[in-house]
Amino acid sequence: MPEPSEYDKSGVSNHGAATALSGLLKHISPTRKFSDRYPLAADIGYFANVIDIGNGAGIAFGTDGVGTKIIVAELLGRYDTIGIDCVAMNVNDVICVGARPASMVDYIACSHTDPQVFDQLGRGLAEGARQAGISISGGEVSQIKEIISGIDLIGACIGHVPINQINIGKKVRPGNLIVGLASSGIHSNGLTLARRVLLGESMEEQKSRVNNYEKLLGQTLGEALLQPTRIYVKPVLQMLDSGIDLNAIVHITGGGLCNLNRVASDNIRFVIDTLQSVPAIFNLIQDRGAVSDAEMFEVFNMGTGLCLVTEGDGEVEAISKICAEHDLPCQVIGRVESHAGKEVTLPQKKLTGKNNNFKNT
């Protein structure tokens, strides 16, 4: 057995999750034939999927939650931004298939209902909806104190995309450029590892340290961890509406830049030869936790929240102009090469990623 990663030690096993998922998918994947009237446009495992509802129209849909970032909110007693994360994780996935997000529902599982907490959750959800330009059309509250202690927040989002405009990366080809759009920080992935490294192993330690001011960050540890996930909907839709040729839109979440490997094109290598500015919180996690480069780039976004794969310099110039209008830092971070198979390489870090895992080369 390989040496356990820091993420494994914190209680999250990527290998175990992949093994468990394969057991689930062997039953789930064949269900697509049960609804032949509304065929699916993509395989399970992309950021979102699309149902063909006829007459050239498609409904995109996806679901995601905020993970253990909710624990940081609980430690701080502050829930007014976590709803932004919930919206972001959903709409940022839905735009990856070229869709315009339209509406979302939320699911709140809790041990008990607290009017003040729910008021703050609602504020965050509403702000996220405003930033994404969507409605929140409903939801569900489930009081299950026998199962959960505290709160969990999950969402599901739908959007619209013409069937002939679905984007799952089939047009990605050698010579394409990769543009990275900056993240706002840790977003909503890897919080279990981040809390363990920065706040301590036990909940008692985490409670005592969450309000510690960190000079390197210019804020408390809790404030840095709770920084809301950036929502990319408006700039990306502006790019699509203006006719910019985006061959792939890739949300950088769990798996980091290895998420580029999800695109439908084969026999390509994504060469990331210029890394974006890395937010200080990632340097702090790596230094204090003695976390390897491979694991950092596998667990966290490391400063790049969304990748756009495009044709050339003309498209890059147009992308940069729109990003500037939205105060969104972006830059070319790499290129696509021909390769037998599919992988992501980071030459500066001597890392190669296949599927969702980086290894030293």
Domains with residue ranges and CATH for the chain: 37-165 (3.30.1330.10), 177-360 (3.90.650.10)
**DSSP one-letter string for 244-282:** --EEEEEE--TTGGGGGGGSS--SEEEEE-SPPPPPHHH
Please say whether the beta carbons of 306 and 250 come within 8 A.
yes
The phi and psi torsions of 10 (rounded to 5 degrees) equal -80, -10
Give residue 1's pLDDT: 43
CA nearest 102: which of 143, 144, 159, 57? 159
Prediction pTM value: 0.94
Low-confidence ranges of the chain (pLDDT < 50): 1
Give residue 145's pLDDT: 94
